[in-house]
Structure 1
């Protein structure tokens, strides 16, 4: 008889190998890849036109790359700059040990290690903030990569390092291949890379990305299909390691997304926006909410009637089942493990770094439901205040260089007060840009006010 542990090991290996050769995923990747013979000279000329005058030439620039260049420019990334190392050896070791992707490294190395060494490439794995956790592969290629700080501990998020495969894959949350002068920074333009995001198989939370980096030989659609298959194998491996959820356990994921994910009894559901708002409110109020109060928490308009709310709740009950959604008062019959609740609890215990690690973005960011807005603002304000109190440059940078923190003037100012001198220049540049945008906006509002008074 095969033992449970041996069976699980064989199953993981079989799934990983199957995923690695399953190249049918190409059909899903569209302009995420480069052609087999891209025109490097035309790309260099297009890059120069953009960095000197802001003009994008489509083609040879792909739309995905053009969007990334624009984001890089808005983030004030220097085309001639270099990535910076943020995690020293001791911090890096601790971060690796605690990171969920450490459990997937055996599979990633099995699938990519020999390929990277034999092809004179590098395999790299980064966290969701774009910080490189592992960079391994051919010794000569590793030496050359050190010249541009493509090393473990360096941040390669798009908002800091410009267009690059792992950073851009995290920014857009899908597989990306970047060739030659498609890289925003000139020191990186001798390289080609392909990366795919890796998610927590239970919650869908972005954990980081897996990347293959090397020379022009990687400029082929199969390189991207290969790295996406490795990412899928890593997710399958993590799923096998995860404990089976209890039948009565309910998991709600609502940070950084407009449509929440609900997992109950091993069943995953993507909720509508209104149902997402209802579940967030009920998860926050486990003792229940009366109908009149729930109406005020969900709807801005006073004209909305209780009949409308009851209809939404009826549809939600049909989706969840009457055993989970109860009434009089409206409440959830099972305890809910909500991601925003986890962040709140970790803040309450003083675990600021862990709280930020769990914070995938604002709570239902597009929601205007009054109850959700209050929860969203309260959680963000608590986290921001805790980060300022801690005064850790790396944690503050995690916030300001995120999609939700890039325009947060107060947090950029807090970062400017604690960041080392070597990293101060880009922070001050971003502050000047934000101040200019705020001044321009104030001028527009003033002119509109004067016009309306005439």
Structure 2
């Protein structure tokens, strides 16, 4: 969550997330902001009266190499891909509520209701026909990518970036093509897990530049979260397991409506068993988890016994070790979407390397497999925005192969310079490394442990 504060010398607002304080002159503020925007795009300095949240967003937009002269957003979800993704998205369940609460407001005020996912891709855009037609000229339409990293400062994209309700007024938008609009958006979360699902946005003209519009959209978001809580099963099926392990050191387990953060070893066991519904023998699981051959089967049995106390005696069976209930995981989601050719949807579900700090041999291989398959799909797809997202992520910032792919479709000076820098580092003499330390593998993945033992080699006595 952003802790943006107003730049030094900026007029303090009662609420820094509101674009105009009561009594402010919209015309004068728009003019002053336009001058500040021109100064920023020319010299990179922020002047009054730019709010802190907007200044921070402008800087992020510049770092993401968004052009202030972009004329339209990129279409990322189209036709059947869009329909399938929307139907599966949790916010589809509250679209009737969104329409009920905002329909007359949008229609009467000639505004638009827009709903985006957590990656800033528009899923629904509805409202006044003439306004929709105008917005369509800049691809403010379902399936278009309005993430801050793609289109710069805008209410839905910025709201999911900072995970806060935010209002963006006219010339506060980073892209000049969007500066005729004003919008207010609020994030929506899964009421059970707190996970960001996306945002609801109201977009229109200058009339939205009022504190009430931000309060309104925030109230709608809260109503949606309450509705999602009511729509959740009152009595979840006993033993239902959901596992979140991407981009984390320790997996998050959701079971029976209760969240539990697992230890690293329990995270590894659960991820491996989730990927092997047929089960793993004690020997197979021991070899998959431990590089050290001195680890005994007794150690594994103790770990499994502790995990069984968390999951329940009927959920984790033995001989072979297996889960007796269906398991949903973010790993499986990425693999399923890649298998279906939905590259953008797979990239959206990939929140980072699998169990980042794990050195368990089978986890390391799975971590690399997922990342390599996604990287290969991104490169083959050639979408510059998806490639840019990867190289601007912590795990992809030194990924030369993806940087080269980005340079081939978006050969801007900063991209070419970064490719040259990484190529120079690749050919530079090796740097001495202190004995006992281990380097991190490419794009944030730990190296495969060096061991003469196969991860599935049989060992006896493991139960």
- TM-score normalised according to structure 1 size: 0.70
* 8 A contact 2:400–2:422 mirrored in 1: no
* 8 A contact 1:342–1:355 mirrored in 2: no
* 8 A contact 1:133–1:152 mirrored in 2: yes
Shift of 1:381: 0.9
Shift of 1:153: 3.8
Determine the C-alpha separation between the residues in 1 that align with 2:372 and 2:267.
22
Which stretch shifts more, 318-327 or 78-87? 318-327
| Shift in CA distance, 347/137, structure 1 to aligned 2, threshold 3 Å | closer
Shift of 1:162: 0.9
What do the CA deviations read for 1:321-341 (whole angstroms, capped 9, x no partner)?
A: 566567999876655322213
Q: Which runs of 5+ in 2 are unaligned?
A: 1-13, 433-463
Alignment partner of 1:77: what SS? coil
Shift of 1:44: 3.4
What do the CA deviations read for 1:290-309 (whole angstroms, capped 9, x no partner)?
A: 6997699489x999999999
In the alignment, is residue 69 of structure 1 matched against residue 58 of structure 2?
yes
| Shift in CA distance, 446/52, structure 1 to aligned 2, threshold 3 Å | farther
Determine the C-alpha separation between the residues in 1 that align with 2:314 and 2:254.
15
In the alignment, is residue 142 of structure 1 matched against residue 128 of structure 2?
no
Alignment partner of 2:68: what SS? coil
Superposed counterparts of 1:212-231, under 5 Å: 212-231=202-221
Partner of 1:36: 21
Determine the C-alpha separation between the residues in 2 that align with 1:174 and 1:259.
26
Determine the C-alpha separation between the residues in 2 that align with 1:288 and 1:96.
33
Partner of 1:10: none
Determine the C-alpha separation between the residues in 1 that align with 2:251 and 2:20.
36
Alignment partner of 2:183: what SS? strand
* 8 A contact 1:277–1:369 mirrored in 2: no
In the alignment, is residue 432 of structure 1 matched against residue 422 of structure 2?
no
Q: Which runs of 5+ in 1 are unaligned?
A: 1-28, 418-423, 450-454
Shift of 1:51: 1.7
Superposed counterparts of 1:13-412, under 5 Å: 31-37=16-22, 39-56=29-46, 60-62=50-52, 64-86=53-75, 90=79, 94-95=83-84, 98-100=87-89, 101-199=91-189, 206-238=196-228, 240-241=230-231, 245-258=236-249, 260-271=251-262, 276-277=267-268, 279-284=270-275, 287=279, 297=289, 320=311, 334-345=325-336, 347=338, 350-353=340-343, 356=346, 359-364=349-354, 366-371=356-361, 372-388=363-379, 391-393=380-382, 397-398=385-386, 400-401=388-389, 404=393, 407=397, 408-411=399-402
Determine the C-alpha separation between the residues in 2 that align with 1:355 and 1:146.
23
* 8 A contact 1:292–1:306 mirrored in 2: no
Shift of 1:253: 1.8
* 8 A contact 1:36–1:219 mirrored in 2: no
| Shift in CA distance, 91/330, structure 1 to aligned 2, threshold 3 Å | closer
Shift of 1:109: 0.9
Determine the C-alpha separation between the residues in 2 that align with 1:258 and 1:219.
42
Aligned Cα RMSD in Å? Answer: 4.5
Determine the C-alpha separation between the residues in 1 that align with 2:160 and 2:358.
27
Determine the C-alpha separation between the residues in 1 that align with 2:128 and 2:389.
31
* 8 A contact 1:169–1:195 mirrored in 2: yes
| Shift in CA distance, 146/334, structure 1 to aligned 2, threshold 3 Å | closer
* 8 A contact 2:282–2:320 mirrored in 1: yes
* 8 A contact 1:163–1:185 mirrored in 2: yes
Determine the C-alpha separation between the residues in 2 that align with 1:333 and 1:95.
29
Shift of 1:108: 0.9
Partner of 1:17: none
* 8 A contact 1:197–1:206 mirrored in 2: yes
What do the CA deviations read for 1:130-163 (whole angstroms, capped 9, x no partner)?
A: 3323222234433443443323343211121111
- TM-score normalised according to structure 2 size: 0.69
Determine the C-alpha separation between the residues in 2 that align with 1:294 and 1:228.
50
Shift of 1:356: 1.2
What do the CA deviations read for 1:188-238 (whole angstroms, capped 9, x no partner)?
A: 223222222334556665443221112344334443333233234334445
Shift of 1:433: 4.3
* 8 A contact 1:92–1:133 mirrored in 2: no
Determine the C-alpha separation between the residues in 2 that align with 1:86 and 1:225.
30
| Shift in CA distance, 333/162, structure 1 to aligned 2, threshold 3 Å | same
Return the structure number with greater helix share.
Answer: 1
